[in-house]
Chains A and B, each alone.
Chain A
Amino acid sequence: MKTILVVDDSQIMRNIVKNTFLLIKIPCSFIEADNGQDALKELEKNPVDLVLLDWNMPRLSGIDFLKQVRANSKYAKLPIIMVTSEAAKYNVIEALQSGATDYIIKPINEKKFTEKILKIDL
């Protein structure tokens, strides 16, 4: 049973992400956070197998969360997928440079999402 941390300030988006996961038929449980700060706290409390991270969020933005997490060696191998509506390539590169494992663009294409998840080898 895998634990997925979903970080997005929109409840709707979080639901969409969770639903997409259910379609892939990988058994998992979800932890949700609606901003970067809370996400960090959740991360400390529970072991997590994958983080799905939104880009634009209040308090602690996606990229700042990313940098903070990677700064901690405990989470060096933690897969983090950026989920973003920002198709701008420069933002994606920045995310990858800051340590994102992969990225996916909203609206989420199920097939692509599946490929990327499977690649991570949960």
Chain B
Amino acid sequence: MFKSIIEILLKGFFSGQEIETTDLLKADQQIKGLLHNILLLLGGTLMFCMGLYRYSQGNNVLAAIEFSLLGIMILLYILSFFKISFNVLSFFTMLSLIAIATIAISGDLYIIGMLVSILFPIIFLLLFGLKIGIALSMLLLMVIVVLRFPFFFTPGFNQYFHLGIVGLYFFMVIIQIFNALSLNFRNNVIANITNSLRAEHDQMAAMKDNLKTAIFLLNEKIEIQPQYSRSLETIVQEEDLAGENFLTILSSSIKPKDIKTLEYFFDMVINRKFESEMLEDINPLTQFVFINRKTLEEKTLRCTFSPITGKDNKPYLLATMEDITREIELQQQLSEEDNRRQNEMNAVYEIVHLDSQVLLDFIEDADFEFSHINAILKADKRSTPTQVLNEIYNSIHSIKSNALILGLNSYSQQLHSYEDEIKSIRNLDKEPTFEDFLRLTFLLETLIKTNDGFKQIIDKISAFSKKSTAQKDEIKVFAELLEENVRKTSLGKGKIVNLKITELDEQVIQRGPRRIIKDMITQLLRNSVSHGIEAPEDRITLGKTEAGNITLSITTANDNIHIVLQDDGKGIDFTAVAEKAKQLNLLNETELTNQSKLLNLLFSTNFSTAKIVDLYAGRGAGLSIVKKTINDMNGTLKLKTKENVGVKWTIDIPFKA
């Protein structure tokens, strides 16, 4: 009850407005409004009393004037509830007060009237400021002087009184002027300080917001404090982060058990449990992949944390966060570039050791294979995608064999990776798709480019050396290549093998299908070394020479190229073949003992008894290619094998000398 009376009174005095507590300007305005209302109240009350008094005295005219003034004051009070310009309203209020003063001064109550009017300048200058306040004060003074004019010259008490009042009035005005000036001055000083503080604050905010690195504070509960850099929102792509727990923002980026460990870390930093250097070292967020909670977009970020004491003397973490995705990408690119250059250097070293004629042969062979592959790719309906894939594989395999012999290891690796690609497509067990071929084509281009690189190197080298222009004996090169092949393969297998070429017909090399024959023989030689010839210790145990022997003869007879290749190894290991066949479920029980069936298997694609698929053998491609090649050329292949004695291959291919 009491409370509501107070509320009504307050509402009344403040003209229905809420009491302003935060905005100082508005509060100032409200106080003026309060004063205004109080003056209305006082003035109104006075008029009411005076009016009654006059009326009881029978002075109806004055009473009427006084009651009208009361009416005006009530009206002004009501108007104060509406949004009328305060200056206009209070001006009329002042006029009313001046009117009251006039009445007071002119009648028999003039002494009180004149004394009270000294107070008016205070009100005028307070409500209206310097200029209007002085104007109104002068106006009132004029009114007083005019009304009491005669009394200024009446000697005696009146003269002293009136002159004294005017003097006091002036004095009051001057005091109020000084008051107002001093107030203005103080106000200006405060305004300046406020402005410069605001400017500084804006500058800090601008700096903070324009830095790409986000700066923010975390409290002991790891909650983000308000006043964080705008860039924090940009990096984590979330808004309204104040109060959010930093760890929940990381919830998609870090494993739950690691989040727990992060809490320990923050605790260590914020409570300075270890030296800052150590803490920097073990900061898990120095570089990490941030995954956005909502969009799952990934970025690489760097965060740092330092302990700091807040204004409230509580410990906080000063954290920074930077998006270093681009930086890391560049680093990776640079190191990839570095690697690539290293590989290139290695490749060059490998090439430089080769005889240029040998390298030219290799390049030519590779070119041939590449054109072959391209032709197959272009040829539309003739082969199924799987067939195309196999053809490509065979060609690449061929190039790889040559590369290996020449010791072009980096190139062999590239080719090997290409074979792997093909093999992984094959393993999917469905037809190769357009995308598969697209990828293979692009990779092929890279291989061809490397081959081009070899050509460039040869050109550069031949510019310097004279030897390269000399014609090397083709036969010698052919034989050397094969011997090199055997040497390399046997080295890789930990065996010692000698190749003896007993006969080599020129015509075959010069006019025959040199490349094809070379490939076939290479394959067979490799097979012998890998599977046929035993390890040196085993050979000694068996009473054989430590080194294995392979003999090769290439002759022409009866319109045929006649190739005989014989090794003194252990012969075809039918047990191993049968085992593999059983493993792969390729034959049934009875077939497993049938030697010719097992031999056929040996020649099929993908079949290999080698336990390790390495560069040299074991892809199960070699023998199948041999068989296919011979078939394609309408030739025949005879295979003779005896356990522990060796294997003899006899190949006849039609040939017109």
Contacts and interface: CB of A to CB of B under 8 A. Distances in A.
A touches B in complex, CB < 8 A: yes
A91 to B, nearest CB: 8
B278 A93 contact: no
Contact of A97 (B258, B268, B278): B268
A90 B284 contact: yes
Interface string B247-275: 00000000000100110110110000110
B278 A90 contact: no
Number of chain A interface residues as a range: under 10
Contacts of B278: 102
A92 interface: yes
B305 to A, nearest CB: 12
Contacts of A93: 261-262, 264-265, 268, 282, 284
User: Chain A contact residues: over half helix, strand or loop, or mixed?
Assistant: helix
A74 interface: no
A110 interface: no
A96 interface: yes
Interface in A97-122: 97, 102-103
Interface size class of B (residues with CB under 8 A): 10 to 19
Contacts of A25: none
Contacts of A96: 264, 268, 273-274, 282
B283 interface: yes
Contacts of A94: 261, 264
Contacts of B265: 93
A111 B262 CA distance: 29
Contacts of A89: 282-284
Among A89, A92, A94, max chain B CB count under 10 A is at A89
Nearest to A101: B274
A81 B264 CA distance: 18
Contacts of B267: 97
B268 A90 contact: no
B274 A90 contact: no
B502 to A, nearest CB: 56
Contacts of B264: 93-94, 96-97
Contacts of B268: 93, 96-97
Nearest to B284: A89
Contacts of A90: 258, 261, 284
Contacts of B283: 89
Interface in A2-54: none
Nearest to A89: B284
A90 to B, nearest CB: 5
B303 to A, nearest CB: 13
A93 B282 CA distance: 7
B273 to A, nearest CB: 8
Contacts of A92: 282
Contacts of B284: 89-90, 93
A18 to B, nearest CB: 25
A90 B262 CA distance: 8
Nearest to B273: A96
Contacts of A103: 282
Contacts of A97: 261, 264, 267-268
Closest 8 CB pairs of A and B: A97-B264, A89-B284, A90-B261, A92-B282, A93-B265, A93-B261, A89-B282, A90-B258
Given A89-B282, A96-B273, 17 more contacts: A89-B283, A89-B284, A90-B258, A90-B261, A90-B284, A93-B261, A93-B264, A93-B265, A93-B284, A94-B261, A94-B264, A96-B268, A96-B282, A97-B261, A97-B264, A97-B267, A103-B282
7 contacts: A89-B283, A89-B284, A93-B261, A93-B264, A93-B282, A94-B264, A97-B261
Interface of A: 89-90, 92-94, 96-97, 102-103
